[in-house]
Amino acid sequence: MARPPPPWINVGRPGYKTVGYFTNWGVYGRNYQPQDIPAEYITHILYSFANIRPTGEVFLTDTYSDLEKHYPNDSWSEPGTNAYGCIKQLYLLKQQHRHLKTLLSIGGWTYSPNFAAPASTPRGRETFARSAVHLLADLGFDGIDIDWEYPADASQAKDFVILLKDVRRVLDEYSATHLGGKRLLLTIAAPCGPDNIRKLRIGDMDPYLDFWNLMCYDFSGSWDKNSGHMANVFHSGRGEITPFCADGAVTMYLNGGVRDPRKIIFGLPLYGRAFEGTDGPGGGFQGVGEGSWENGVWDYKDLPLKGSREVVDPRLMASWCHDPVNRKMVSYDTPEVAAMKTDYVANRHLGGAMWWELSGDHHVSHERSLVRGTAERLGRLGGLDGTENTLYYPLSRFENLRRGCV
């Protein structure tokens, strides 16, 4: 049952949010299970990803990982229809850590092309909203996260606003009927590229959202002509070194209609992007080489690469490692830069930090864990969000979730 909360949690009160993406495919090769989530340092989990049918229906993408995988304490002979897999384990984490809220994240890069068609019609939007909230009620979530990368034009941007309005309405209807009006969460993954930001109707979206998760990473990578920083806060003055900057994105959202800076959650990478055949940021490169799980992308816990030297540029709030012999560079956040970014969040009065994605970090017992370092620092600066999660799901088809997994 519930464990005593750590001292950095503001029990029952708001505070800084620490938001972590958990992927349902991570249980396989990466062997990162829900039990590995450092729940004492996390206030919100974004469970990734659900997909969208052409009708607008939201559906789960891996029923084995989501609902069927049996963990050591799961029964094989429990009567009735019961949830297992990651869904049950997330519910158990919520029981143990009452500050931990979970959101079903819909879309992501791979599934984002499936948003536009259903979002363009009233029927598609209504189907989306009702099926998303049905999954929330069925699976034990505290909210919905929409990761549409990205609305392509003014028409899709308008559709996005109406989609958010419809989801907010159905969330509120469900809560009014079954939860006494308790707030259910609606968030989005928000771009940091200026062209993508300009397309959004930020001021129209903001009233429906509880917070915006800014993807302050992937500013540079294999698609570029030069090696560069992929998660810098400030510009260098040279576009080939810093194609984008997070500070500029934050300012665009605040100027564009986000009414409270505490609704902006600053995204941080738990991975690095690699460049080969390069002498450092701004130079040419020849390929990206191998990675932890895909070419050119290294888990943070595998960095710095052997033979490399870590370099920090405090002016940009950026860091990287470079091997001058093999001419390999990886752009990523070191603990020193993560601490700088945490102070930036506090100094700009933002709402907290978000990570893509949790399996990339060291275990929180490791001295270089970015999640622990950031969460503890935010805890000292004002405490972490301790508003209580929801455990009551009377409409779930799963008997163990309806009765609270007792």
Say if residue 49 is preceded by a cis peptide, omega within 30 of 0: yes
Give me the residues paired with residue 18 across strands. Answer: 353
Q: Which two tokens stand for residue 284?
A: 């040419």
Contact present, 84 and 92 (Cβ < 8 Å): no
Q: What beta strand segments (E) does 180-234 contain? A: 185-190, 211-214
Cα torsion angle, 292, 296, 297, 299, sign: positive
Task: Report which of 286, 249, 284 is spatially closest to residue 265, judged by C-alpha positions.
Answer: 249
Burial of 376 (0-12, 13-18, 19+ CB in 10 A): middle
Task: Report which of 214, 222, 224 is spatially closest to residue 251, judged by C-alpha positions.
Answer: 214
Contact present, 84 and 381 (Cβ < 8 Å): no
Q: Which residues of 45-76 are buried (b: 16+ CB within 10 A; e: fewer)?
A: bbbbbbebeeebbbebebeebbbebeeeebee
Q: Is 78 a residue of the active site?
A: no
Residues 24 and 104: their CA atoms lie apart, in Å, by 11
365 C-beta neighbours (distance < 10 Å), count: 8
29 C-beta neighbours (distance < 10 Å), count: 10
DSSP, collapsed to helix, strand or coil, labels residue 273 as strand
Residue of 57, 126, 149, 310 with catalytic role: 149
Task: Report which of 9, 374, 389, 382 is spatially closest to residue 216, judged by C-alpha positions.
Answer: 374
Name the packing angle between helices 122-139 and 154-178 (round to 10°): 40
DSSP, collapsed to helix, strand or coil, labels residue 381 as helix
Angle at 163 between CA 160 and CA 164, to 5 degrees: 90
Cα 172 to chain centroid distance, Å, stands at: 23
State phi, psi for 220 to the nearest 5 degrees.
-145, 150
Residues 223 and 255: their CA atoms lie apart, in Å, by 29
Catalytic annotation, residues: 149
